[in-house]
Amino acid sequence: MSLLIDSIGELFTADDEGTIHYDAAIVIEDGRIAWVGHRLNRPAADEYFDADNKAMIPGFVDSHAHLVFAGDRSGEFAARMAGEPYTGGGIRTTVTATRAARDDRLRETCARLTAEMLRQGTTTVEIKSGYGLTVEDEARSLRIAGEFTTETTYLGAHTVPEGADGALMDADEYTALAAGPMLEACAPHAKWADVFCERGAFDGDQARAVLTASAAAGLGLRVHANQLTAGPGVRLAVELGAASADHCTHLTDSDVDDLANGGTVATLLPGAEFSTRSPYPDARRLLDAGARVALATDCNPGSSYTSSMAFCIALAVREMRMTPAEALEAATAAGADALRRTDIGRIEVGARADLVLLDAPSHVHLAYRPGTPLIDTVFRAGTAVS
């Protein structure tokens, strides 16, 4: 069965040349893009969809989200807006609520958030564990995440948790657990491993221990790096060949060089700076140095409770000196690169037909009309799903 999407006013492909077609058409066959070009050259197809001269873009790839959690931290957000700093300490509040929640409760939250994302044009999402922090609670978080995505990430090293006695565990002992028995239980359910490498969470040596053990267990690597301070996270991520270093808010010149010269994507999460009232990362500095820059939501109940990639694009354009086209590429093709995926995030022949028709004439409207719902139709693997 083939489908012709005709009369696309502007087609933002996010392909390697950054091609934008006008008056375009697409043919989809068996869920994949089979043809892209000017509508006057369009081939015939079994079914027809009229895009009504609106703009079409690739489905968003949200390469960083924490969706397996319970509880609410809106009070913490309100306190921050009144001047309290964000330290990451609130992670433990969510850990307590998550451990106490039944599976169905966690599943419901994941279902609600992934549906919310899909309605807003996100056709691929990565989901991390990290709010269980016991062997059993991390493994069940990943089992639940796996019901919603293939891009599952083991984040046992999110913070040093309280043990059964209610006291904070010793950081080195917990690191050994996260790099040992917890990893062993989680690896079958995870594609990736991540570590929060930060003062107050895991230092460079501890992060290295978890990441190297995870790589040995067959997992790809990602790192929460340089979010609150200019620590060793980015350096380590690049050295270990991680797919992505995420946050990248506080970078030294040598971190920027490493990202520009290595194979690690710099994933920026401006929802976190918005929600923690922190200075935004300098996307322009990274782009000008030649680094690959992605955008993701970091959707989580503490530092960034947004599921909207369009909101992140608007922030990146207004606050981080990205052009609308750069921000949209970062939210699609570069997000796919951050997951080492070549089959999504781009509109080109052979790619999965994950497409978003905007209720707008141009992709620029994503930033130009912030906060406005602009999603007309979402196609996942060629099927209109929303």
Among residues 161, 302, 345, 382, the one that binds ligand NIG under rule CB under 6 A: 302
Contact between 271 and ligand NIG by CB under 6 A: the answer reads: no
Q: Please indicate if the annotation marks 224 as binding a ligand.
A: yes
250: CB partners within 8 A, 6+ apart: 226, 227, 228, 229, 230, 231
Is 255 a binding residue for Fe ion by CB under 5 A? The answer is: no
Is the CB of residue 269 less than 8 Å from the CB of residue 246? yes
Tell me the three state secondary structure of residue 202.
strand
Structure tokens at 297: 């939501």
Q: By C-beta, is 98 or 122 nearer to ligand NIG?
A: 98
Closest-CA residue to 4 (of 46, 37, 41, 40):
46
Q: Does 88 bind ligand NIG (CB under 6 A)?
A: yes
156 lines the binding site for ligand NIG (CB under 6 A): no
Task: Name which of 10 and 298 has its Cβ closer to ligand NIG.
Answer: 298
Give the DSSP letter string of 335-386: HHHHTT-SSSSS-STTSB--EEEESSSSTTHHHHSTTS--EEEEEETTEE--
206 binds ligand NIG (CB under 6 A): no
By CB under 6 A, tell whether 138 contacts ligand NIG.
no
Q: Which two tokens stand for residue 118?
A: 């899909």
DSSP per-residue string spanning 67-109: ----S--HHHHHHHHTTPPP-STTHHHHHHHHHHS-HHHHHHH
Told to check if 194 binds Fe ion by CB under 5 A, we report: no
Task: Kindly tell me which of 34 and 65 has the beta carbon lying closer to ligand NIG.
Answer: 65
Residue 189 Cβ, how far from Fe ion at the closest point, in Å? Answer: 19
303 binds ligand NIG (CB under 6 A): yes
Could you tell which of ligand NIG, Fe ion, none binds residue 196, using a CB distance below 5 to 8 A set by kind?
ligand NIG
CA distance 61 to 50: 25
Whole-number minimum distance, CB 132 to ligand NIG, in Å?
13
Which residues, in sequence order, are CB contacts of 205 under 8 Å at separation 6+?
none
Q: Was 120 annotated as part of a binding site?
A: no
Residue 303 touches which of Fe ion, ligand NIG, none (CB < 5 to 8 A by kind)?
ligand NIG
**The amino acid at 163:** G
Cα atoms in the 13 Å half-sphere on the side-chain side of 346: 19
Give the residue at shortest CB distance from ligand NIG.
Answer: 302
Among 39, 54, 60, 94, binds ligand NIG (CB under 6 A): 94
Return the number of the residue (262 or 301) whose C-beta is nearest ligand NIG. Answer: 301
* Interaction mask 1-30, Fe ion, x per CB under 5 A: ------------------------------
Footprint of Fe ion on this chain (CB under 5 A)?
Answer: 298
Footprint of ligand NIG on this chain (CB under 6 A)?
Answer: 88, 90-91, 94, 196, 224, 227, 272, 298, 300, 302-304
